[in-house]
Amino acid sequence: MKKTLLACVLAALAGVAAAQSFPSKPIRILVSSPPGSSPDIRARQIGAHLAESLGQPVIVENRPGANGLIAARETVRSGPDGHTLFLALINNAIGDALKPDPCCRLNHELVPVSRFTMTPLIMVVNASVGAKTVKEFVALAKSKPDALTYASGGPGSISQLVGEWVKSEAGIKVLEVPYKAVNAEIPDLLAGTVMTAYVVPQVIVTHVKSGKLRALAVAGPSRLALLPDVPTTAEAGLPGVEAIVWNGIFAPAGTPQPVLQILHREIVKAYNAPDVKKQVLDTGSEVVGDTPEQFAAFVRSESAKWSKVIRDANIKPE
């Protein structure tokens, strides 16, 4: 009993000491997508504010590949001192549900600091598709099984999961056309080579307003100011079907609690900086800035939701 108490006291003192000297060197934010991507831009936005508030350079490093595992693995290996952080994406939670890797699971080897943004996917079709609503799309698909196509980011991507979810809920047959990179389908979607896609609003809003694409539904709980006339999936006849892209900061498990508290405080401040918040809202997203406990609970709920979709659609890992 005394040994246990002593160990707890020593651990607490070590955590306090770590916090007092934190940060003692530059901070890295590892991002699992390439330079110029939306997550990369988000990381650089908050990095500039963190550097100012913490008094150390904040370096964004891109580690794309393996559906986020490369960046996640490097974060875990870096050591739990708070100087290496990971901007996790929904892909990581889906990967944990589809094919968990014990190296770097969210809420296990990586602990949450705070969720950053939430962005609902938009169901869009090429303007040549003879459907102006989800109900008309479903009717068209039922009349021509496997004649319509939808673009996905490949096995285990959120676009594949929501595409299969829509098929299951509506009882339709639509052919999947997989792509190797996020938004790689846009040229083919504009050309009509692929007919349907599930994408973030900032990628397609100008094409919708120009009439090249038609937005059928917002896969979120409410309509967007960017596209106020586009109904939610629930309003369009697919209640319960929601697909929201999210991201947030994680740190290696074992990072001292006082250090996590500092990181949480300063990261949430960075999220809510006026320039950051405005840019997020302008692209159809919202800032969250929740507590580590709330973020952990959210990740668990996402894992449960997508695990069910994966089972119901019989999706297998590559």
Q: What's the maximum distance between 2 C-alpha atoms anywhere in the chain?
A: 75
Mean pLDDT computed over 81-86: 98
pLDDT at residue number 18: 58
List, for residues 97-121, the tens digit of each pLDDT value.
Answer: 998 999 999 999 999 999 999 999 9
Which letter, b or e, does each residue of 203-226 get, where b requires 16 or more Cβ atoms within 10 Å of its Cβ? bbbebbeeebbbbbbbbbeebbeb
Mean pLDDT computed over 148-160: 92
Provide the 10 A C-beta neighbour count for residue 85. Answer: 28
**pLDDT exceeding 70 applies to what percent of the chain?**
94
Instruction: List the single range of 78-82, 163-167, 179-183, 306-310 with lowest mean pLDDT.
Output: 179-183
List, for residues 33-66, the tens digit of each pLDDT value.
Answer: 889 888 899 999 999 999 999 999 999 999 988 8
> Which strands form 213-218's sheet, in the order they lie side by side?
175-178, 149-152, 196-199, 122-126, 213-218
pLDDT at residue number 13: 46
Q: Is the pLDDT of residue 189 over 80?
A: yes
List, for residues 255-289, the tens digit of each pLDDT value.
Answer: 999 999 999 999 999 999 999 999 999 999 999 99
pLDDT at residue number 154: 85
Instruction: List the single range of 65-69, 83-87, 98-102, 164-168 with lowest mean pLDDT.
Output: 65-69
pLDDT at residue number 65: 84
pLDDT at residue number 7: 44
List, for residues 227-252, the tens digit of each pLDDT value.
Answer: 999 999 999 999 999 999 999 999 99
Grade residue 11 by pLDDT with cuts at 50, 70 and 90: very low
- Structural domains in the chain plus CATH codes: 2-118+245-313 (3.40.190.150), 122-218 (3.40.190.10)
Q: Is the pLDDT of residue 129 over 60?
A: yes
Mean pLDDT computed over 128-135: 97
Q: Is the pLDDT of residue 126 over 60?
A: yes
Cα distances from 314 to residues 55, 174, 227, in angstroms, run: 49, 16, 33
* DSSP, residue by residue, the chain: -HHHHHHHHHHHHHHHHHHHT---S-EEEEESS-TTSHHHHHHHHHHHHHHHHHSS-EEEEE---GGGHHHHHHHHHT-SSSSEEEEEEHHHHHHHHHS--TTS-BTTTEEEEEEEEEEE-EEEEETTSS-SSHHHHHHHHHHSTTTSEEEESSTT-HHHHHHHHHHHHHT---EEEE-SSTTTTHHHHHHTSS-EEEE-HHHHHHHHHHTSEEEEEESSSS--SSSTTSPBTTTTT-TT---EEEEEEEEETT--HHHHHHHHHHHHHHHTSHHHHHHHHHTT-EE----HHHHHHHHHHHHHHHHHHHHHHT----
pLDDT at residue number 2: 53
pLDDT at residue number 8: 43
Instruction: Kindly give the pairing relationship between strand 286-287 and strand 110-120.
Output: antiparallel
Instruction: List the single range of 127-131, 146-150, 181-185 with lowest mean pLDDT.
Output: 181-185
Phi and psi, residue 209, nearest 5°: -70, -25
Task: With beta carbons less than 8 A apart as the criterion, state whether 230 and 216 touch.
Answer: yes
pLDDT at residue number 86: 98
pLDDT at residue number 12: 47
Q: Is the pLDDT of residue 181 over 50?
A: yes
Q: Mean pLDDT over all residues of the chain?
A: 92
